[in-house]
Chains A and B, each alone.
Chain A
Amino acid sequence: MTLRLSAVTYRYAGAQRDALTDVELELPAGSVLGVVGPNESGKSTLCLVASGLAPVVVGGQIRGSVTIDGRETVGMRPHELAQRCGILFQNAQAQLSGTASTVFEELAFGPRNLGLPLGTVIERVESSLETLGIAGLADRDPDRLSGGQAQLVALAAILALGPDILILDEPTSQLDPQGTRLVGEALRRLAHEKRTGILVVEHKTALLDELADRVIVIDQGRLIREGASVDVLADPALVELGVEPPPRVRVRSALAGAGFRTPGEVDALLAELAR
């Protein structure tokens, strides 16, 4: 399934100005699109709009169109939308249902609401737990998880819905390096094996460097740059926008700035260390 935003302009209810202006983007099945930009540039709003939650749930005014395989998301019923498109909020704790007494139940909440047979629900829950390496949390109380654990549980709950499109707002913000790697690997597998289209907002550009096919840069609600992730993430203009380049790019420029060896030798050294 392909998610497409065409000339999308969005304004929150009661706001004085547009939060997004004239955004065009396409997310084909099986692709990973990274989104970077400074704080308050419209990244989270883009997630709400792309997932259909804004304006349907959040309110506000939208112009242009958001479509999944050519169908406007605005007219879809909530359960239809939930099966096609899953969204992980920036604040994962806010996403947990608050009604489940175990992590297992929390993950079963979504698929059960879709009316799936019990066997399928259990299968989905177990496979989502496995995918993110958190099978050990199944019996824990969702209210007594660490921040990082809660974030993994919230992501697993979305995966259990089996959506064709994933919209992720900083899915690794509270994760340790190992958790970040695990999520990166899980997302890569979903894109490659299940052809899930993934739009992911991240300040950790190192993750996008490994995961994203393409990266877009958002500033003041406008899409100001789009390209292959390797090109966009190496753009020196990112720093001026407040986006941290991946360590590989930073260390390369630090070494080059110190007059150390030729760029080719620096790249060879970094490639050796990456192995």
Chain B
Amino acid sequence: MIAIEIRRVGFTYPGGVRALDSVDLSIGPGETLGIIGQNGSGKSTLVRHLNGLLRPTDGQILLDGTTVGRRHVAELAALVGLVFQDPDRQIFAGKVRTEVAFGPRNLGLRGAELDRRVTAALEAVGLAGTDEENPYDLGYSRRKLLAIASVLAMRTPIVVLDEPTTGQDLRGVARVRSIVAALTAEGRTVITVSHDMRFVAETFRRVVVMRAGRIVLDGTPADVFGEPSWDVLASTYLEPPLAARVGARLGLGSTPTEARLVEALAARA
């Protein structure tokens, strides 16, 4: 299992946009983490550093003690699986099964083991039976799930999901939650960028808030969405979930999810 150390990382895009500014973040092996923040606050830029897609302008990122830049691309691909926000930037094969097999095949897998992995990944995202379909005949929500399956099939110790719930209905969001739970149960590290406050509050034990390329909050959902953090959230134009605001108004402490709100009410009764 792999620890991630992000040390004073800054990044400036060619053309001068400063996307990250001295980011420090330690993520333990097997930790699950949600990253929230405004559009353009640096969330996607930060996670694209984890598999070497972007290289920091300053500072460094260590995976298991070794700088990302010192690792070979193939080695990074086996360590960090990154699911893009836009599935259409990731999907290229003519068949669903070929798409999912591409990653593990490049890791050197063949035959029965490759088959098993592809089948398991398709089952995990609810796409079993679509093997022979053209990915572009699937709707957007299922293309998103296909992109996740392609990364799951790599069985990387670190999985990064960029906006996995966009375009998903309730069942799709529940599916993503169960995927995160299954990965966590296997001891893998899951890092997720999202704008969906409810999903983040209900899914992750740790939430990081970014603003203008910096980390401004880092804690449990109860910390980050609790009343003492509201000023900082407001400074980055985020709002706590309604359940948190109702809980605070009723003097119930921090209730970031509806389930916590109901529990807190029951405990007081």
Q: Write the residues of chain A forming the contact surface with B, with a CB cutoff of 8 angstroms.
A: 37-40, 44, 90-91, 93-94, 140-141, 144, 146-149, 152, 170, 173-179, 203, 239, 242-244, 247-248, 250-251, 254-255, 257-260, 269-270, 272-273
Question: Are B170 and A242 within 8 A (Cβ)?
Answer: yes
Closest Cβ of chain B to A80, distance in Å, is 28
Question: Are A179 and B39 within 8 A (Cβ)?
Answer: yes
**Given the complex, which residues of B lie within 8 Å of A272, measured CB to CB?**
249
Closest Cβ of chain A to B199, distance in Å, is 10
Q: List 28 A-B contacts (CB under 8 A).
A: A38-B170, A39-B141, A39-B142, A39-B167, A44-B139, A93-B88, A147-B86, A147-B163, A148-B39, A149-B40, A170-B166, A174-B39, A175-B195, A176-B38, A176-B39, A178-B38, A179-B38, A203-B169, A244-B170, A247-B198, A250-B242, A251-B246, A255-B261, A259-B269, A260-B265, A269-B246, A269-B249, A269-B250
The distance in angstroms between the C-alpha atoms of A257 and B262, with both chains bound, is: 8
Option from A90, A94, A244, A258 in Cβ contact (under 8 Å) with B265: A258
Question: Are A90 and B167 within 8 A (Cβ)?
Answer: yes
Closest to B233 in A: A177
Question: Are A174 and B195 within 8 A (Cβ)?
Answer: yes
Closest to A139 in B: B15
Q: Does B13 count as interface, using CB distance less than 8 angstroms?
A: yes
Option from B140, B197, B237, B258 in Cβ contact (under 8 Å) with A250: B258
**Given the complex, which residues of A lie within 8 Å of B262, measured CB to CB?**
254-255, 257-258
Question: Are A176 and B237 within 8 A (Cβ)?
Answer: yes
The distance in angstroms between the C-alpha atoms of A94 and B140, with both chains bound, is: 12
Question: Are A38 and B265 within 8 A (Cβ)?
Answer: no
Closest Cβ of chain A to B36, distance in Å, is 8
Question: Are B88 and A94 within 8 A (Cβ)?
Answer: yes
- A174 in contact with B269 given A40-B139, A91-B140, A248-B242 (CB within 8 Å): no
**Given the complex, which residues of B lie within 8 Å of A170, measured CB to CB?**
166-167
Closest Cβ of chain A to B186, distance in Å, is 26
**Given the complex, which residues of A lie within 8 Å of B168, measured CB to CB?**
39, 203
Closest Cβ of chain B to A162, distance in Å, is 25
The distance in angstroms between the C-alpha atoms of A239 and B169, with both chains bound, is: 10
Q: Write the residues of chain B forming the contact surface with A, with a CB cutoff of 8 angstroms.
A: 13, 15, 17, 37-40, 44, 85-86, 88-89, 139-142, 162-163, 166-173, 195, 197-198, 237-239, 241-243, 245-246, 249-250, 258, 261-262, 265-266, 269
Closest Cβ of chain A to B144, distance in Å, is 10
Closest Cβ of chain A to B21, distance in Å, is 16
Question: Are A144 and B246 within 8 A (Cβ)?
Answer: no
Question: Are B39 and A255 within 8 A (Cβ)?
Answer: no
Question: Are B86 and A93 within 8 A (Cβ)?
Answer: yes
**Given the complex, which residues of B lie within 8 Å of A239, measured CB to CB?**
170
Question: Are B141 and A146 within 8 A (Cβ)?
Answer: no
Question: Are B265 and A176 within 8 A (Cβ)?
Answer: no
Option from B139, B162, B237 in Cβ contact (under 8 Å) with A177: B237
The distance in angstroms between the C-alpha atoms of A164 and B262, with both chains bound, is: 46
Option from A93, A94, A173 in Cβ contact (under 8 Å) with B167: A173
**Given the complex, which residues of B lie within 8 Å of A147, measured CB to CB?**
39, 44, 85-86, 162-163
Option from A148, A243, A255 in Cβ contact (under 8 Å) with B169: A243
Most A-side CB within 10 Å, residue of B173, B195, B243: B195
Closest Cβ of chain B to A105, distance in Å, is 15
**Given the complex, which residues of A lie within 8 Å of B166, measured CB to CB?**
170, 173-174
Question: Are B141 and A40 within 8 A (Cβ)?
Answer: yes
Question: Are A247 and B249 within 8 A (Cβ)?
Answer: no
Question: Are A177 and B195 within 8 A (Cβ)?
Answer: yes
The distance in angstroms between the C-alpha atoms of A37 and B245, with both chains bound, is: 28
The distance in angstroms between the C-alpha atoms of A94 and B262, with both chains bound, is: 42
Question: Are B238 and A177 within 8 A (Cβ)?
Answer: yes
**Given the complex, which residues of A lie within 8 Å of B245, measured CB to CB?**
273
Closest to A152 in B: B39
Question: Are A146 and B40 within 8 A (Cβ)?
Answer: yes
**Given the complex, which residues of A lie within 8 Å of B15, measured CB to CB?**
140-141, 144
The distance in angstroms between the C-alpha atoms of A144 and B171, with both chains bound, is: 32
Option from B172, B239, B246 in Cβ contact (under 8 Å) with A39: B172
Option from B139, B141, B241 in Cβ contact (under 8 Å) with A247: B241
Question: Are A254 and B195 within 8 A (Cβ)?
Answer: no
- A251 in contact with B39 given A44-B140, A174-B166, A242-B170 (CB within 8 Å): no
Closest Cβ of chain B to A170, distance in Å, is 6
Option from B44, B173, B241, B246 in Cβ contact (under 8 Å) with A146: B44
Question: Are B140 and A175 within 8 A (Cβ)?
Answer: no
Closest to A239 in B: B170
Closest to A144 in B: B13
Question: Are A258 and B169 within 8 A (Cβ)?
Answer: no
Closest Cβ of chain A to B258, distance in Å, is 4
**Given the complex, which residues of A lie within 8 Å of B266, measured CB to CB?**
258
Question: Are B261 and A254 within 8 A (Cβ)?
Answer: yes
